[in-house]
Amino acid sequence: MTQIDPPGFTGSLLDRSDLVRTDAERLAAMRASPAAKLLALEGIDPVLDAGGRLSWKSLDEAHPDAELIFLGIEEDCPRFAEVRRDLPDGVNRSVAIFRMLDIMAAGEAGTYAAARSLIDWHVRHGFCARCGTATAMFRGGWGRKCGGCGSEHFPRVDPVVIMLGEYEGKVLIGRQPAYPKLRYSALAGFLEPGESIEEAVAREMWEEAGVRTRAVRYVVSQPWPFPSSLMIACIAEVDRATLTIDYTELEDARWVSRAEVAAALAHEAGAPFLPPPRYAIAHTLFEHWLAGE
Amino acid sequence: MTQIDPPGFTGSLLDRSDLVRTDAERLAAMRASPAAKLLALEGIDPVLDAGGRLSWKSLDEAHPDAELIFLGIEEDCPRFAEVRRDLPDGVNRSVAIFRMLDIMAAGEAGTYAAARSLIDWHVRHGFCARCGTATAMFRGGWGRKCGGCGSEHFPRVDPVVIMLGEYEGKVLIGRQPAYPKLRYSALAGFLEPGESIEEAVAREMWEEAGVRTRAVRYVVSQPWPFPSSLMIACIAEVDRATLTIDYTELEDARWVSRAEVAAALAHEAGAPFLPPPRYAIAHTLFEHWLAGE
């Protein structure tokens, strides 16, 4: 059996210790611990050490106005991240982050993903969606509570289906206009209220490529912290090769064989497309498909 | 092979026609169509006809101040739902809704689930979480836009993992204090930012039952509109039978055999527990486990 790496952003060693979040006394002890560490960030990007690992600093170095998120415990050290209202570049994606992800281990990226998604959510949720009043962090940073109506708000996780449509031994790949040159990937879209994973896959295949889906099999998942998606990777049998492409979503879509996908993943000269990066679930999905799953 | 019914809330015949949402002209034509129908509701509960099907009425019957959601097209009729700010009982769960779900077909419940989750989200998201200004519906009801900072907000879907831990041919079931008497179900919990489905299953099994997970297999999914969960059902192999139960979450947890689960699903006298209702994914998950999947 082919050895397939675990998906990017999975395998974090963080113990989330959720009971601490709602226990004011234990939370205070974690903050007061001399072993406590603060995630080092530049804006919302990580600061990596020479080995490509996350850097941590002392809690004393937190910005005086920052709110602190209790991430959990790793290597016996309580781990925190700070939410600064004055984030220099806000929570936009930098060019640098994707270069960093190329060299980070998946587990380290997973710890960072949790912190990044939470910080991003706090920065964009300072007010109550129900009444418009300012909110404040509670539960150690795993929620915000309204100072007016008392509503409790919790971080979002947005499920996204990402899938390879399969027909007669080939799979469907597509490219969005914003992709780097020659890059193709699996089709994808946000799952909507009122549908299952299987229904979202079928709807997206229909909307983007005009093909009907016969069977959907779940393959693997990963968190994707831009800003807080849950990527759910599937393989779907479709009913025909003829495509009706939605050009508002895709620039192109095409069928590729196992040999073509293998050449692309191996970055062979003459491969028909550039694959998604190693840390993206689409890469893992291609590997699973090649392995015959 | 045993025939297992599709999960509750799946199989809606609604074509969501997503391109209409962003096309003002087509959206106006849908609203003006004499075939257009409005979902009949009492508060946020459906109004069922004698056959247990959803009732629909004319768009003229919408409340004058209501905002209209374009749900999609079914049987050549544009389908809408209204968001009334004066919902009599807000968006709370009534006792009646669960009796209705007992008699509704899964596909009808799926159409209702989409409408209910959206209405609930609109009612609780009248203000911008980023700046506190009032928001207004856009994209045919599939989003809200801030009148102040211009931020766009989209309906939430909250992924929940629900799983049967398996050890030596038995599975772990639990009951929450709020359950009806004798009811047991699969353990479950919200997936958090920065984790995969498999990691969320492992974390929840550890937090709630104190067992470590060896392998997780995805089984099936469903939407659950209370208010807008995506239920992701899995089976997890765990490392031991000894439990450390988190009594803040569970009132009890116990191991049951195939014979015991089969007796419970058949509502046999002397069965050791009452199963979850037919429309809940936990019921479907038990069936898949009994079928050996």
Structure tokens at A126: 């300072």
Q: A222-259 burial string, b = 16+ CB within 10 Å, else e?
A: bbbbebbbbbbbbbbebeeeebeebeebbeebbbbeee
Q: Regarding beta strands A41-42 and A252-256, do their DSSP bridges make them parallel or antiparallel, or are they unpaired?
A: unpaired
Q: How many CB atoms lie within 10 A of CB B173?
A: 26
In a domain, A146, yes or no: no
For residues B168 and B278, membership in a common domain is answered with: yes
In a domain, A10, yes or no: no
For residues A118 and A241, membership in a common domain is answered with: no
For residues A52 and A165, membership in a common domain is answered with: no
Cα separation, A105 vs A81, in Å, equals 19
- Alpha carbons within 13 A on the beta-carbon side of B261: 26
Which residue is listed with tokens 């300072």?
A126
- Please check whether residue A185 touches B, CB under 8 A: no
pLDDT band at B3 (very low <50, low <70, confident <90, very high): confident
pLDDT at B93: 84
Nearest to A170 by CA among A189, A151, A184: A184
For residues A168 and A119, membership in a common domain is answered with: no
What is the CATH number for A187? 3.90.79.10
For B157, the closest of A114, A155, A192 (CB atoms) is A192
In a domain, A74, yes or no: yes
**Of B79, B100, B124, the domain-final residue:** B124
Cα separation, B48 vs A41, in Å, equals 55
pLDDT band at B88 (very low <50, low <70, confident <90, very high): low
Which residue from B minimizes the CA distance to A118? B193
Between CA B196 and CA B202, with CA B197 as vertex, the angle to 5 degrees is 95
In a domain, B7, yes or no: no
Q: How far is B12 from chain A (nearest CA, A)?
A: 8
For A126, the closest of B7, B113, B130 (CB atoms) is B130
Sort out which chain B residues have CB atoms less than 8 A from A121's CB and list them: 193
Q: How many CB atoms lie within 10 A of CB A93?
A: 13
Which residue from B minimizes the CA distance to A219? B218
Sort out which chain A residues have CB atoms less than 8 A from B133's CB and list them: 132
Q: Which DSSP helix (H) or strand (E) runs through A92? A: none
Is the separation of the CB atoms in A168 and A238 below 8 Å?
no
φ, ψ for residue A188, nearest 5 deg: -155, 160
For residues B168 and B283, membership in a common domain is answered with: yes
Across the interface, do A130 and B127 touch by the CB < 8 Å criterion? yes
- Please check whether residue B284 touches A, CB under 8 A: no
pLDDT one-digit tens code per residue, A235-253: 999 999 999 999 999 999 9
pLDDT at A112: 98
Q: How many CB atoms lie within 10 A of CB B43?
A: 15
Which residue from A minimizes the CA distance to B191? A157
For A131, the closest of B10, B127, B246 (CB atoms) is B127
In a domain, A204, yes or no: yes
pLDDT at B293: 66
In a domain, A59, yes or no: yes
Domain count within chain B: 2
For residues A168 and A255, membership in a common domain is answered with: yes
Which residue from A minimizes the CA distance to B222? A196
Q: Which residues pair with A38 in a beta bridge?
A: A57, A80
pLDDT at A293: 66
Between CA A159 and CA B91, with CA A22 as vertex, the angle to 5 degrees is 50
In a domain, B269, yes or no: yes
For residues A105 and A166, membership in a common domain is answered with: no
Q: Which residues pair with A223 in a beta bridge?
A: A230
For residues A166 and A242, membership in a common domain is answered with: yes
Cα separation, B249 vs B210, in Å, equals 13
pLDDT at A16: 97
B209 has pLDDT over 80:
yes
DSSP code, position A94 = P
| Mean pLDDT value across residues B198-204 | 98
Sort out which chain A residues have CB atoms less than 8 A from B215's CB and list them: none
DSSP code, position B274 = B
For residues A163 and A268, membership in a common domain is answered with: yes
Sort out which chain B residues have CB atoms less than 8 A from A131's CB and list them: 126-127
Structure tokens at A191: 């799952």
Task: Please name the residues between 123 and 142 in chain B that touch chain A, using a CB distance below 8 Å.
Answer: 124-134, 142
**Of B124, B144, B177, the domain-final residue:** B124
Across the interface, do B223 and A113 touch by the CB < 8 Å criterion? no
**Of B102, B124, B146, the domain-final residue:** B124
Is the separation of the CB atoms in B112 and B74 below 8 Å?
no
Say which residues have a Cβ less than 8 Å from residue A29's Cβ, sequence separation at least 6: none
In a domain, A259, yes or no: yes
Series of mean pLDDT values for 10-residue runs along chain A (293 residues) = 87 96 97 97 94 96 95 97 81 88 96 97 95 97 97 97 98 96 97 98 97 96 97 97 94 97 96 97 98 83
For residues B237 and B181, membership in a common domain is answered with: yes
Mean pLDDT of chain B: 95
| Mean pLDDT value across residues B78-91 | 84
- Please check whether residue A16 touches B, CB under 8 A: yes
Burial class (CB in 10 A: 0-12, 13-18, 19+), A33: middle
Structural domain that includes position A208: 158-290
B108 has pLDDT over 80:
yes
For residues B167 and B286, membership in a common domain is answered with: yes
Across the interface, do B194 and A118 touch by the CB < 8 Å criterion? yes
Strands (E), B154-287: 158-167, 170-175, 187-190, 213-224, 229-238, 252-256
Across the interface, do B196 and A7 touch by the CB < 8 Å criterion? yes
pLDDT at B94: 87
Task: Please name the residues between 264 and 283 in chain A that touch chain B, using a CB distance below 8 Å.
Answer: none
Task: Please name the residues between 217 and 246 in chain A that touch chain B, using a CB distance below 8 Å.
Answer: 218, 220-223, 225, 228, 230, 232, 246
For residues B28 and B73, membership in a common domain is answered with: yes
